[in-house]
Structure 1
Amino acid sequence: MRTCVVSMVAADSEGPNDPGVRMFRRERSIPLRGSAAALCNNLSVLQLPLRNLTHFGVVHGPSAHLLSAAPEGVPLAQRQLHAKEGAGVSPPLITQMYESDGSVMVYWHALDAGDASPVQAVFARGIASSGHFICVGTWSGRVLVFDIPAKGPNIVLSEELAAHPTSVTDIASEPAQGQDCVADMVTADDSGLLCIWQSGPEFKLSTQIPGFGVPCTSVQLWQGTIAAGYGNGQVRLYEASTGNLHIQINAHARAICALDLAPEVGKLLTAAEDTFVHIWKLSRSPESGYIEVEHCHGECVPDTQVCGARFCDPSGNSFAVTGYDLAEILRFSSM
């Protein structure tokens, strides 16, 4: 096993930790009717190239803002999705699924509070698709696996994965790389524990990576490599098949709130409460097979607690950022 530690904690833009060469410029922002809540990973992006549209999703209080925009950032439509009322279930205990434009709710599921005490929060957190399954993390540490049919609204809860002792924080997946794929989904929790799964008719737990007393707030998968962001500002890269640590990056001065990966080129996007967004280039050495990391770009969003960041295309040529109490989505594109 080879472990490498890389320090890159951003401070003042004119100091010795200057983010470096600028590769992206700020574009026209997209206005929101509300603002972004202070939640990790509080931005979703869905690109629809055939329609020349990009959908953005942001959570604000008990509702979600879903909007579509043209490539130049002009907002075309915006919806506010509220938690379903009725059926004797309170809104915080609901998981809902919509069509991509938010026009139709196709399914809702009541969360089981179980033995939760009256003062214990009950919530769903972390979501990812794996094949024809959608996996949703919960406050109890369970992961709900929904089977999504190719056509029609006949969605069913197929199983519940119980491997986390604390609340799930994030879930990531990537398409299986053939029959011998060791892992195609990873789940993280508040203790920092990572669980690696093989999906199929039944999900199988293949590896666990112990935590070290710091929450893992965001995870991503890329070519069998796990990128994990933590509450102490570190990014760690693990081999999914073995759980071995490859590289530790001291990337931020405060807690990381979002990670994203551009799968076509291996760019890693990290964002944190220190107001900085960084972009890193991941590559695998052809000689040794080890993962190598290069810092490509740093962006400061002044006086803003960043809470979400996502690439807007699979090549990593543009990205978007949200911030707490910020009534706009900031956009950046390559120069």
Structure 2
Amino acid sequence: MFRRERSIPLRSSAAALSNNLSVLQLPARDLTHFGVVHGPSAQLLSAAPEGVPLAQRQLHVKEGAGVSPPLITQVHWCVLPFRVLLVLTSHRGIQMYESDGSVMVYWHALDSGDASSVQAMFARGIAASVHFICVGTCSGRVLVFDIPAKGPNIVLSEELAGHQTPITDIATERAQGQDGVADMVTADDSGVLCVWRSGPEFTLLTRIPGFGVPCPSVQLWQGIVAAGYGNGQVRLYDASTGALHVQISAHARTISALDLAPEVGKLLSAAEDTFVHIWKLNRNPESGSIEVEHCHGECVSDTQVCGVRFCDPLGSSFAVTGYDLAEILRFGTV
């Protein structure tokens, strides 16, 4: 069972964007960082375990020639083996910062080839894989940046082509680089999923067809792809074969965010129907089939939930953001 804990106030309410919450745990300092997008700015907050806000910072998009400030589409901490970077995507480009947001170390501008004449440019979908950071674009391409152990010498090393519509989300897991092992999945507006193996050159292993419904959020755990769709379904696929194992009618409206507690296999789903659910995933060792158990459901009344994240690797606490909600809601086990 979970109970509502002390919420964390925001200076501005969360925008109605899928995956609009990022969480970085700092156990050594007993702190948790939260990142939330509001229009042309991203809010970064540090909080103590009891939810007391200790510091706030606002980041903005690198200015260009436009009349109005460009909108931010996502903010996400990327944990690499040797450093942590904060990545911000927008309608103008990709910005990478040191983990506290104090120093911008890299800027990549989107070019006009990233969008058609009738489509707005934007980047969206962020994930770290080994020493790479992968970012999706509105053209369906995934940009792969090679990140050095320190300093700003970040290089665009590869562009992955597997999608025809804008990328919505990217997820990775830490089994990277092993032969034949899928360690990254990308999703797009048409519901197509591409499963990749990372390395000096990324390899497309499996392409899972869509069915006419967007896939706003995706996760990857022990060879299982968890995908949340615009019709409220959560589907679980085998990453190596693309076979559909489980289909759950999890929500009544569009799923806005998924998250995983990797140490225990808990899946967190949130949707525009005001509900947050926790599911336990297992792979049967004998049959290899994927099994799912519903663990908890939480109604966030009168709130269009747009972001949800576990706050620890065991899945014993989670945080929620909602459209036009000027606080981060926190829940912990009783």
Question: Under a length normalisation based on structure 1, what TM-score does the superposition of the two structures give?
Answer: 0.91
Kept after mapping to 1: 8 A contact 2:177/2:199: no
Which position in structure 1 is the counterpart of 2:125? 126
Which position in structure 1 is the counterpart of 2:319? 320
- Give per-residue Cα distances to partners, 1:236-282, cap 9 Å, x unaligned: 00000000001000000000000000000000000000000000011
1:112 counterpart letter in structure 2: D
**Hey, what's the Cα distance between the residues in 2 that align with 1:211 and 1:117?**
22
- Higher-Rg member (1/2): 1
How much has 1:86 moved relative to structure 2?
4.8
Structure 2 residue 6 is the aligned partner of structure 1 residue 28: yes
Structure 2 residue 208 is the aligned partner of structure 1 residue 209: yes
Structure 2 counterparts to residues 40-59 of structure 1, below 5 A: 40-59=18-37
SS at match of 2:28: helix
Q: 1:131 to 1:115 in 2, by over 3 A?
A: closer
**Hey, what's the Cα distance between the residues in 2 that align with 1:241 and 1:112?**
34
Relative contact order higher in (CA < 8 Å, ≥ 6 apart): 1
2:13 counterpart letter in structure 1: S
Q: 1:123 to 1:178 in 2, by over 3 A?
A: closer
**Hey, what's the Cα distance between the residues in 2 that align with 1:133 and 1:87?**
30
- Give per-residue Cα distances to partners, 1:76-101, cap 9 Å, x unaligned: 11111001125899743121011111
Q: 1:88 to 1:191 in 2, by over 3 A?
A: closer
Which position in structure 1 is the counterpart of 2:109? 110
Which position in structure 1 is the counterpart of 2:47? 69
Which position in structure 1 is the counterpart of 2:156? 157
Which position in structure 2 is the counterpart of 1:197? 196
**Hey, what's the Cα distance between the residues in 2 that align with 1:45 and 1:142?**
26
Structure 2 residue 287 is the aligned partner of structure 1 residue 288: yes
Q: 1:117 to 1:252 in 2, by over 3 A?
A: same
How much has 1:300 moved relative to structure 2?
0.3
**Hey, what's the Cα distance between the residues in 2 that align with 1:241 and 1:101?**
36
Which position in structure 1 is the counterpart of 2:58? 80
1:258 counterpart letter in structure 2: A
**Hey, what's the Cα distance between the residues in 2 that align with 1:267 and 1:104?**
34
**Hey, what's the Cα distance between the residues in 2 that align with 1:158 and 1:179?**
20
Which position in structure 2 is the counterpart of 1:17? none
Which position in structure 1 is the counterpart of 2:173? 174
**Hey, what's the Cα distance between the residues in 2 that align with 1:297 and 1:134?**
33
Q: 1:62 to 1:118 in 2, by over 3 A?
A: farther
SS at match of 1:114: helix
RMSD: 1.5
Which 10-residue stretch deviates more, 82-91 or 294-303? 82-91
- Give per-residue Cα distances to partners, 1:281-335, cap 9 Å, x unaligned: 1112222121111000000001110000000011000000000010000000011
Which position in structure 2 is the counterpart of 1:186? 185
**Hey, what's the Cα distance between the residues in 1 that align with 2:177 and 2:128?**
17
How much has 1:180 moved relative to structure 2?
3.3
How much has 1:178 moved relative to structure 2?
6.9
**Hey, what's the Cα distance between the residues in 1 that align with 2:202 and 2:322?**
35
**Hey, what's the Cα distance between the residues in 2 that align with 1:134 and 1:281?**
28
Which position in structure 2 is the counterpart of 1:243? 242
**Hey, what's the Cα distance between the residues in 1 that align with 2:110 and 2:261?**
32
Question: Under a length normalisation based on structure 2, what TM-score does the superposition of the two structures give?
Answer: 0.91
SS at match of 1:219: strand
**Hey, what's the Cα distance between the residues in 2 that align with 1:213 and 1:147?**
34
Structure 2 residue 150 is the aligned partner of structure 1 residue 147: no
Q: 1:86 to 1:116 in 2, by over 3 A?
A: closer
Kept after mapping to 1: 8 A contact 2:114/2:138: no
2:205 counterpart letter in structure 1: S
1:198 counterpart letter in structure 2: R
Which position in structure 1 is the counterpart of 2:266? 267
**Hey, what's the Cα distance between the residues in 2 that align with 1:235 and 1:106?**
37
Structure 1 gap segments, 5+ residues each? 1-22
**Hey, what's the Cα distance between the residues in 2 that align with 1:183 and 1:133?**
15
SS at match of 1:211: coil
**Hey, what's the Cα distance between the residues in 2 that align with 1:163 and 1:287?**
33
**Hey, what's the Cα distance between the residues in 2 that align with 1:214 and 1:28?**
36
**Hey, what's the Cα distance between the residues in 2 that align with 1:286 and 1:119?**
50
**Hey, what's the Cα distance between the residues in 1 that align with 2:316 and 2:23?**
14
SS at match of 1:202: coil
Count of residues in correspondence between the two structures: 313
Q: Which aligned segments of 4 or more residues in structure 1 are displaced greater than 3 angstroms?
A: 86-91, 115-119
